[in-house]
Chain A
Amino acid sequence: RFLIAAHLSRAADIIRTIRDPEKPNTLEELEVVTENCVEVQEIGEDEYLVIIRFTPTVPHCSLATLIGLCLRIKLQRCLPFRHKLEIYISEGTHSTEEDINKQINDKERVAAAMENPNLREIVEQCVAEPD
């Protein structure tokens, strides 16, 4: 379907320029996200489910969670169509992936994380549009 392909492309464009929290590179450059890591499904009239499966560069748990948080925040803010969002670590890439997946998909935990000024600052820097 044309719309699904367009939404998928839009989502990929939004996430490819997110900066890694640690390194001076984008998530696309570090291959944390690729066009293939985005899936879009129609779930209702004009509503789509967007699923992102990202591959963290290092097995460090808190960085993986932070990347997940950046993905969620930027997509939530920038996707122009009605959507539900699921963010997962791609299978087999992390020892505590279930724990991380659960955290980054819990609305309250995400909101609580964004209330933490240190975390919020990092996320804002990572998702800021390049000049």
Chain B
Amino acid sequence: RGNRGWGHAGLGKTVRGWVRTVPGPEGSGAGAGMDAGGRARCPPVSPVSPCPGVPAGAGWACRAVLADGHQRTVRRVAWSPCGHYLASASFDGTTCVWKRHEHGFEVRAGPAGPPLSPGPPLSPGPPEEEEFECVSVLSAHSQDVKHVVWHPSLQLLASASYDDTVRLYREDEDDWLCCATLEGHTSTVWALAWERSGQRLVSCSDDRTLRVWQRWDPAQGQGSGSEPSWKCVCTLSGYHGRSIYDVAWCHLTGAVATACGDDAVRVFEEVTSPSP
């Protein structure tokens, strides 16, 4: 997801960034001709049968291979809502934040540019620097990081780990710091999902429970430097027979769905008690 491309995690230790090689509907000529700097270049992916309306020869090109961030399998990647940051979570216990550097566009006269570019009139020139820079390696978790997900609108990152905790990170000047640790689960936290408003987060765990965490802002007059805190406002136990591996919070209806090791999918809805 993100308006320009998507990343994928692989069995190896690399994170790869891919960009569409045909202009999007906005005619931006996304990413043609960019190189990933000194890294190995991936061959272009041959297009699968094109969708109607998509020009023939449309495909995806690998724009970046981020091989030095993690020491073990990269398990999950997530784009920030603004599209400038990419977060990756690994078995090595770290969460990396990568910043995407934008490049200028130049007019290209004459025939089509490099082979990967279908030759739109405006294409970016070769970059002088790498497209993605690792801006932080977050080692707050003590064990494998199972999940990483961005807040729906803020530059706030959440991660879930084998160490039974959820951690939140935000940017502070030039670095990223862990601004909250959510404790309560008694086993591995496998996944997280944000409510549309970003005021609440739900986590699912090997302990067979779901926990909903609510943001509490510091009281007025407590000083501008206070961090919001997060409290567990609900624990759903007794519904799941085995580990809960994934959770999703619908931004349209507010329903929460879970994926469980007992082979069932469950859907939960918030019940508001009738006013007296």
Question: Which residue numbers of A lie inside 8 Å of B, CB to CB?
Answer: 43-44, 84, 102, 105-106, 108-109, 112
Contacts and interface: CB of A to CB of B under 8 A. Distances in A.
Given A108-B146, A109-B144, 5 more contacts: A84-B262, A102-B188, A108-B91, A112-B72, A112-B91
Contacts of A112: 72-73, 91
Interface in B56-99: 72-73, 75, 91
Interface of B: 72-73, 75, 91, 144, 146, 162, 187-188, 206, 241-242, 261-263
A84 B188 contact: no
9 contacts: A43-B262, A44-B263, A102-B206, A108-B91, A108-B144, A108-B146, A112-B72, A112-B73, A112-B91
Main secondary structure of the interface of A (DSSP, over half): mixed
Contacts of B206: 102, 105-106
Contacts of A105: 206
Given A43-B241, A84-B242, A112-B91, A106 B261 contact: no
A109 to B, nearest CB: 7
A41 to B, nearest CB: 11
A19 to B, nearest CB: 29
Contacts of A44: 263
A17 B229 CA distance: 54
Given A84-B242, A112-B73, A102 B144 contact: no
Contacts of B75: 108
A106 B162 contact: yes
Contacts of B242: 84
Contact of A102 (B72, B91, B187, B263): B187
A84 B241 CA distance: 11
Contacts of A84: 242, 261-262
Contacts of B241: 43
A108 B191 CA distance: 14
A86 to B, nearest CB: 9
A106 B146 CA distance: 11
A109 B263 CA distance: 20
A9 B146 CA distance: 36
A44 B242 CA distance: 13
A109 B162 CA distance: 10
B260 to A, nearest CB: 11
A98 to B, nearest CB: 10
A72 B42 CA distance: 38
A109 B146 CA distance: 11
Contacts of B72: 112
A112 B91 CA distance: 9
